[in-house]
Structure 1
Amino acid sequence: MAKVFFTSDHHFGHAAIIDYESRPFGDVEQMNESMIASWNETVGKEDQVFHLGDFSFLNREGTSRILHRLNGYKTLILGNHDRSRSRSWWLDAGFQEVSGNGIIYKEFFLLTHEPLYMNRHMPYVNIHGHIHGQKYEGINHFNVCVEHWDYKPVSFEDIMNILASRQEADRDSSAEG
């Protein structure tokens, strides 16, 4: 049975991100190849992947070469670094679907590039990227930036398990207070 995965902020071809985010790679080629291998070790050919933005800094040909090597049916939600290119540019490069806005997934999850304001009483979870290694999580936020997940997409099943643990911990701390 096909699985669903979420990820963001690969920044393929962006050498400066290695220093900006203290990524454990010697150069951009090692980073790109390592992230492609990690993706394909995690995602099967029939799986679905929602990429929540900032996919590639390469030209269309370079981006297309990477996309065609990656397993899964790939949907892109445009990130701040993706928006200078049109939706059709990304489709031509190899994404199966592209959204300029967030997507509502399973009527409960808001998929966006940048985290949205969510107070603790809102009944939704914002799955997002953009903030790389920073922490901005709780019962209403889930950061899928590659820096948090060993440069691999994270499965919906794992997200659900982690959120359940967070909700239980939140209930426990509320009961103590």
Structure 2
Amino acid sequence: MDQPDRLYCADHHFFHEGILTHCAESRPFDNVSQMNEYMIEAHNARASNSTDVYILGDFACGHKLDGAQIRKVFEKLKGRKHLIIGNHDEKNQDILGLRWSSRPSFMKMVKDKDRSILLCHYALRSWPGLFYDAYHFYGHTHGRLPSQGRSMDVGVDSWNLSPRTASEIIERMRNWNPDFETYAPERKTLITCAEENQPGEEYVPERRTDPEYNALRR
């Protein structure tokens, strides 16, 4: 298999004992050592040293994490690695201080060929560029949150514990998300009371050709 220029993944939870129970369907291992080695091999089967790999949070997890062990796993993973910070990363200096190829951030917009992709650990209902065909990749939910529109969980539990290309992820969006072409979460009018805050109302259609909307961008 050719090694791509860019890959995306999330939620490895290296060293996390509890994830073996929480995600038993996707992690049928006897211990974290087996899990760690499998994920390292799966990662390196897709990435080369020149691949940009975007990890959308929760790189490692555990009450007794050892910084040296984390660094050892990190250095085994091929590629130029970029961290989108997750809830298990944000207060862990052993993770934040790894030799990431760019400064860790909570959110990042990237260009992959001609596609704009908003990266965040958490799933968003609305994101920059939504009405201009921008995509949204997220993690955190370990494949248990139904995806919508042009968004998709890129966590490793949904992808056989390995990183994936944007093309693979977007193809799954097209096949799985019935609202891929129509997702528009905002109402046409201001919501002012509980009675209006109910499903079934008329939603904003694609607005890229709406002069009133485009006037706001000038």
Q: Measure, in 2, the Cα distance between the counterparts of 1:170 and 1:100.
A: 27
Decide which of 52, 75, 78 is 2:82's aligned counterpart: 75
The alpha-carbon distance between structure 1 residues 125 and 17, as it changes in their structure 2 partners (threshold 3 A), is: same
TM-score by length of 1: 0.84
- Name the aligned partner's letter for residue 44 of structure 1: S
Match of 1:175 in 2: none
Question: Following TM superposition, by how much is the alpha carbon of 1:67 offset from its aligned partner in structure 2, in angstroms?
Answer: 0.8
Aligned residues: CA RMSD: 2.5
State whether structure 2 residue 147 is matched by structure 1 residue 113.
no
Aligned partner of residue 157 in structure 1, secondary structure: helix
More helix by share: 1
Q: Is the 8 A contact 1:5 1:49 kept in 2?
A: yes
Contact 1:6 1:51 in 2 (8 A): yes
Structure 2 length as normaliser, TM-score?
0.69
Could you tell me whether the CA contact under 8 Å between 1:67 and 1:95 is conserved in 2? no
Gaps spanning 5+ residues in structure 1: where?
173-177
Number of residues of Structure 1 aligned to a counterpart in Structure 2: 170
Counterpart of 2:102 (choices 76, 92, 97) is 97
Report if the CA contact (8 A) 2:154-2:169 is conserved: no
Q: Which runs of 5+ in 2 are unaligned?
A: 183-218
After superposition, the C-alpha distances for 1:66-107 in whole angstroms (9 at most, x for unaligned) are: 111001000001100101124xx4454232223232001127
Greater CA drift, 123-132 or 47-56: 123-132
Which segment is superposed worse, 11-20 or 155-164?
Answer: 155-164
SS of equivalent residue, structure 1 residue 46: coil
Task: Give the counterpart letter for 1:76 in structure 2.
Answer: L
Which is higher, the Rg of structure 1 or of structure 2?
2
Per chain length, whose mean CA-contact separation is higher, i.e. which structure has more relative contact order (CA < 8 Å, sep 6+)? 1
Is residue 61 of structure 1 aligned with residue 68 of structure 2? yes
Percent identity (aligned): 28
- Give 1:121 shift: 5.6
Cα distance change, pair 53–163 in 1 and its aligned pair in 2 (3 A): same
How far does the alpha carbon of each residue in 1:110-130 deviate from its partner, in whole angstroms, 9 at most, with x for none? 100011123986743210000
| 2:161 is equivalent to residue 157 of structure 1 | no
Which 4+ runs in 1 deviate beyond 6 A? none
Instruction: Give 3-state SS (helix, strand or coil) of 1:94's partner.
Output: coil
